[in-house]
């Protein structure tokens, strides 16, 4: 054979081998990019969802009413449609079908929004007949996989349901414990006479109360050693007494209960979403992505929204690649600012700043402020009142070690600003501590 | 005679092509995968920092570990644009500015402190991470021999950033 023949043979073999590999890599790359796009869109939607939270109710629950939760969900779908560039378009109606559940995590529990538009045969309710007859119209998902999934724009609003509050509760022997996102917990128990009580507070507070109850003979000391069922390893085993006495164990147990219960709930609704797909021979399966421990820990510090989305599967050769994203929107700490005058010029400072170059000498530790309250600095009654008005603020500051500014006269700074814009409008320039908070 | 040389040439060419070219192209495709891996690590890091408004040592180490697993000699640049507002006496309104900090200021705070100290960001700040390789990848080295030119060192390049914050908490 001639050299050209060899080259032709080689080229054919080479192209056959490499094209398969190249195609696979390109598909993998494409699915990764699409995953990132989905994750970004979900993150933005979750952020907007969290923005509907009522921050005045941060201690009790930021979505207290059904209306507020519906509003949060509407914000989620509206933003998602905007991000997917299908707002006010036919495709907008099908967005929710790729989202098995949206979870609103509040301080006192969580709410799950799930797709209830589908009946047990996988049909979608699309409203009443246009001819005015009073019977419902349903459309089969199986008949419409190639085109519009829902013909009625309002169907998703009617079909998305938000569950009542789900609480994070676990049983430890005779004690039922309800956890919250903050450091409190509620305990339901019965005394020796069979009467049921509910006590709520921090573990430290409850520890004292239960010690008192044991002393008074209302409960038996050994019952405090009751452990939660189905905990087979030493790491996960936890008794009620440990919840009260060991803060590390309390934190781990709280995270375990919260994470496991949310996880189970989301998996249930993902499976629920899968059910109709299987019944209608749609080759499409939703799977719960693995969420790493630190991600959960990050998500569960403040009220948040978690959404799971799985787009249309991409075909890679004979296989399908799942395109999914799971994201959460959180509350970011707001910074407070105060204004001082230095050399005839106004400066604004970050209240949380640990080291302020201009105002360090006038800052005192929170413990000293507490001493002020005790009258050790000889403050006048009106200053006491000012401090009392800020008492909650000081308590928060004490736990985080943040300094509280005190003016030259020893008074706490009374006017706090929520943003740098407000300070600048007062004619103040930024101190270094306000620009960079480190 | 010509036929012998032709066959010999073809065999050498086939061997060269089968081994060298194939390996080269596979190595270049591996770069694509590495690029994708680095993109993921950077995106995760930046999104995490943007939503939590802080950079922790753990987060940075996790990103760096992933990047160096994909291609060891990489440069990671972090840019933090700290926003601030000043009054504008000429118009009576306010003006927005940014002061920039790099990894030289950020990393000592979160890595050298020995404690779990986070570098705090605030709402409105801009965070950007740029990653690129400082030495050529295997694919670049092999390709440079083929083209008889110097290998380009910046073939893996990722740049991702965004504004910090989404909501406020009292």
Q: How far apart are CA A115 and CA A177, in angstroms?
A: 30
Task: Judge whether A51 is closer than 8 Å to chain B, CB to CB.
Answer: yes
Per-residue confidence (pLDDT) for residue B71, from 0 to 100? 81
Confidence of residue A49 (pLDDT cuts 50, 70, 90): confident
Number of Cα atoms under 13 Å in the Cβ half of residue B4: 1
**pLDDT number for residue A92:** 65
- C-alpha B8/C-alpha B2 separation (Å) is 10
pLDDT at residue A281 in the model: 53
Residues in A closer than 8 angstroms to B18, CB to CB, are: 10, 14
Stretch among A41-55, A321-335, A398-412, B131-145 having the lowest mean pLDDT: A398-412
Shortest CA distance from A48: residue in chain B = B166
Judge: A32–B82 Cβ closer than 8 Å, yes or no.
Answer: no
**Are A331 and B169 contacting, i.e. CB atoms less than 8 angstroms apart?**
yes
Tell me the DSSP string of A203-220.
Answer: HHHHHHHHHHHHHTTSS-
- Secondary structure of residue A422 in the 3-state scheme: helix
A384 CA to chain B: closest CA distance, Å? 23
Q: What is the pLDDT of residue B115?
A: 61
pLDDT at A375: 35
pLDDT digits (tens, 9 = 90+) for A134-189: 444 444 443 333 334 443 334 444 456 788 888 888 888 888 999 988 888 899 88
Q: Is the dihedral of CA A224, A260, A67, A155 positive or negative?
A: negative
Q: How confident is the model over B157-168, as pLDDT tens digits? A: 888 888 876 443
Q: What rounded mean pLDDT belongs to chain A?
A: 69
Choose between A153 and A232: higher pLDDT: A232
Closest residue in A to B10 (Cα–Cα): A3
Closest-CA distance of chain B to residue A420, Å: 6
Please report the pLDDT score of residue A393 as a whole number: 39
The pLDDT score that the predictor gives to residue A295 is 59
- Specify the pLDDT at position A89: 66
Select the residue of B9, B39, B85 nearest A3 (Cβ to Cβ). B9
Q: Is A381 exposed, middle or buried (0-12, 13-18, 19+ CB in 10 A)?
A: exposed
3 state SS for chain B: CHHHHHHHHHHHHHHHHHHHHHHHHHHHHHHHHHHHHHHHHHHHHHHHHHHHCEECHHHHHHHHHHHHHHCCCEEEEEEEEEEEEEEECCCCEEEEEEEEEEHHHHHHHHHCCCCCCCEECCCCCEEEEEEEECCCCHHHHHHHHHHCCCCCCCCCEEEEEEECCCCEEC
Query: Average pLDDT, stretch A51-57?
Result: 75
B170 confidence band (pLDDT: 50, 70, 90): very low
**What pLDDT score does A195 carry?**
82
Question: Taking 80 as the threshold, does the pLDDT of residue B96 lie above it?
Answer: yes
Q: Which of the listed ranges A396-405, B3-12, B119-128 does the model predict with the highest average pLDDT?
A: B119-128
A202 close to B (CB below 8 A): no
Interval A274-320: pLDDT, tens: 765 565 555 555 565 555 555 566 666 677 777 777 665 555 544 45
User: Mean pLDDT across the stretch A220-247?
Assistant: 80
Work out the pLDDT band at B169, boundaries 50, 70, 90.
very low
Hey, are the CB atoms on A2 and B3 less than 8 Å from each other? yes
Structure tokens at B130: 């740029």
Q: What pLDDT was estimated at residue A3?
A: 65
Residue B119 has pLDDT above 50, yes or no: yes
Q: Evaluate whether A49 touches A72 at the Cβ level (below 8 Å).
A: yes
Contact check, Cβ <8 Å, B170/A3: no
Q: Other CB atoms closer than 10 Å to residue A125's CB: what's the count?
A: 19
> Nearest-CA residue of chain A relative to B105?
A438
| pLDDT given at position A360 | 45
CA distance A65 to chain B (A): 20
ipTM: 0.72
CB contact under 8 A, B167 and A47: yes
**A340: closest CA among A271, A289, A414?**
A414
Check whether B87 has a pLDDT greater than 70. yes
Residue A340 has pLDDT above 80, yes or no: no
**What is the C-alpha separation between B13 and A390, in angstroms, rounded?**
83
Residue B78: pLDDT band (50, 70, 90) is very high
A215/chain B closest Cα distance in angstroms: 40
User: Is the confidence at residue B129, as pLDDT, over 80?
Assistant: yes
Inter-chain touch A437–B122, beta carbons under 8 Å: yes
pTM of this structure: 0.60
Q: What's the distance, CA A401 to chain centroid? A: 25
| Count of CB pairs separated by less than 8 Å, A with B | 137
Distance CA B51, CA A15 (A): 46
Query: How confident is the model at residue A352, as a pLDDT?
Result: 65
DSSP letters, A387-409, are: HHHTHHHHHHHHHHT--EEB-TT
Mean pLDDT of A1-29: 71
Q: How does pLDDT run across A198-215, given as a tens digit for each residue?
A: 888 888 888 888 888 888
Asked if the Cβ–Cβ distance from B51 to A55 is below 8 Å, we say no
């Amino acid at each position: 054979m001639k050299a050209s023949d060899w080259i032709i043979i080689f080229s054919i073999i080479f192209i056959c081998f490499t094209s398969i590999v190249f195609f696979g890599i390109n598909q993998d790359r494409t699915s990764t990019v699409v995953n990132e796009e989905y994750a970004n869109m979900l993150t933005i939607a979750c952020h907007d969802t969290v923005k509907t939270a009522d921050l005045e109710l941060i201690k009790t629950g930021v979505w207290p009413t059904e209306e507020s939760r519906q509003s949060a969900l509407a914000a989620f779908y509206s933003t998602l449609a905007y991000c997917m560039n299908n707002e006010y378009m036919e495709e907008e109606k099908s967005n929710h079908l790729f989202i098995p559940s949206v979870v609103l995590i509040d301080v006192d529990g969580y709410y799950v929004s799930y797709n209830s538009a589908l009946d047990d045969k996988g049909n979608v309710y699309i409203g009443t007949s246009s001819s005015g007859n009073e019977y419902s119209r349903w459309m089969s998902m199986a008949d419409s996989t190639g085109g519009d999934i829902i013909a009625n724009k309002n169907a998703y609003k009617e079909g998305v349901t938000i569950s009542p509050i789900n609480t994070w509760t676990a049983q430890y022997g005779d004690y039922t414990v309800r956890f919250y996102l903050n450091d409190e917990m509620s305990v339901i128990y019965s005394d020796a006479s069979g009467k049921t009580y509910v006590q709520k507070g921090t573990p430290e507070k409850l520890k004292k109360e239960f010690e008192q109850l044991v002393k008074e003979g209302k409960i038996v000391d050994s019952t405090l050693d009751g452990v939660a069922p189905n905990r087979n390893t030493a790491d996960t085993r936890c008794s009620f007494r440990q919840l009260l006495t060991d803060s590390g164990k309390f934190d781990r147990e709280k995270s375990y209960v919260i994470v496991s219960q949310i996880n189970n709930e989301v998996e249930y609704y993902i499976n629920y979403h899968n059910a109709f797909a299987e019944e209608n021979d749609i080759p499409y399966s939703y799977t719960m992505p693995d969420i790493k421990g630190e991600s959960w820990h990050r998500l569960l510090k403040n009220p948040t929204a978690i959404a799971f989305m799985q787009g249309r599967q991409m075909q890679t050769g004979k296989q399908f690649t799942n395109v999914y994203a799971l994201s959460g929107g959180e509350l970011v700490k707001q910074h407070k600012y105060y204004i001082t005058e230095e050399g005839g010029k106004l400066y604004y400072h970050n209240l949380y700043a640990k080291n302020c170059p201009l105002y360090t000498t006038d800052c005192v530790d929170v413990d000293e402020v507490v001493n002020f309250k005790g009258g050790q600095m000889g403050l006048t009654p009106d200053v006491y009142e000012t401090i009392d008005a800020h008492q909650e603020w000081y308590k928060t500051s004490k736990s985080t070690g943040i300094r509280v500014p005190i003016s030259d006269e020893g008074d706490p700074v009374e006017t706090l600003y929520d943003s740098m814009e407000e300070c600048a409008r007062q004619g103040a320039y930024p101190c270094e501590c306000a620009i960079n908070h480190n | 005679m010509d036929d012998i040389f032709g066959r010999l040439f073809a065999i050498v060419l086939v061997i060269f092509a089968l081994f060298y070219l194939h390996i080269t192209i596979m190595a270049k495709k591996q770069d694509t995968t590495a690029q994708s891996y680095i993109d993921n690590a950077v995106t995760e890091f930046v999104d995490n920092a943007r939503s939590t408004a802080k950079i922790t040592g753990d987060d940075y180490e996790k990103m760096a570990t992933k990047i160096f697993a994909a291609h060891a000699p990489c440069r990671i640049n972090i840019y933090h644009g700290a926003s601030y507002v000043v009054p504008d006496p000429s118009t009576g309104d306010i003006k927005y500015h940014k002061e920039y900090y790099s990894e030289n200021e950020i990393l000592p705070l979160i890595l050298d402190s020995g404690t779990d100290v986070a570098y705090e960001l605030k709402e409105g700040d801009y965070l950007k991470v740029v990653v690129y390789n400082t030495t050529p990848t295997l694919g670049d080295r092999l390709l440079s021999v083929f083209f008889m030119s110097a290998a380009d060192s910046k073939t893996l390049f990722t740049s991702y950033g965004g504004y910090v914050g989404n909501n406020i908490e009292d």
